[in-house]
Amino acid sequence: MPQFVVFFEDKKFMWDGKIYETQGQADEVKSGYEKAAFETRLITEDSSPVPGTGSPAPGEARSQGKYLVYTRRMAVQQAAIQS
């Protein structure tokens, strides 16, 4: 089973809890999260990064050929402070 929490570039991301069979399915879900103002990362279950989507997840044992979507959303207070 994939890790529920991973760190990319020192930022905490949460797995959305679903395993996608194709990159197209995962990309569609990832786009929906991005439209809702989430940061996203898309990785394959073998811990390889999908090109152009960020760093690979930590090297835990996984099956190959499936896609995972990880998301994070900045807290509203934190976003206001950074603006």
Predicted confidence (pLDDT) per residue in 64-80, tens digit = 689 999 999 976 655 56
**44, 54 contact by CB (below 8 A):** no
Write down the domain spans for the chain.
5-82
pLDDT score at 78: 59
The contacts of residue 32 (CB under 8 Å, 6+ apart) are none
Residue 6's Cβ-count burial label (10 Å; 0-12, 13-18, 19+) is: buried
The model's pLDDT over 13-63, given as tens digits with 9 standing for 90+, comes to: 999 999 999 999 999 999 999 999 999 999 998 755 555 555 444 444 344
